[in-house]
Amino acid sequence: MPNPSSATASYSVQGIIREYLSSGRLTEVVYRDSAGQICLVHDVIRDLFSRAGQDFLLLGRGTMLPFDHVITIDGQLLSDSAG
């Protein structure tokens, strides 16, 4: 079975994100921005969607994050982007 790309969320991670979507609760998201800087925000996850084979998170304030830039959600490691 092929390994999923880091640009797409695995089914287990999608499940975790869907829980945040349905709860509407404030979430701590750590991600790497386009300049490579580590950023931390507290926001609501509004959507998880795919475009051109890449997954994105949409946060409540309108920030759209490529999934492979997301490092943690509420302290849970999601990708290898930190290294």
Give Cβ neighbours of residue 17 (< 8 Å, ≥ 6 apart). Answer: 9, 45, 48, 57, 73
What was the pLDDT predicted at 82?
46
pLDDT at 16: 86
pLDDT tens figures, 2-50? 444 556 677 788 888 889 999 999 999 999 999 999 999 999 999 999 9
Which residue matches tokens 């990708």?
Answer: 79
- State the Cα–Cα distance between residues 67 and 72, nearest whole angstrom: 10
11-76 is classed CATH 2.30.30: yes
Q: Looking at per-residue confidence, does 57 or 4 come out higher?
A: 57
- The residue ranges of every structural domain in the chain are 11-76
* Predicted structure pTM score: 0.79
The amino acid present at 34, given as its one-letter code, is: S
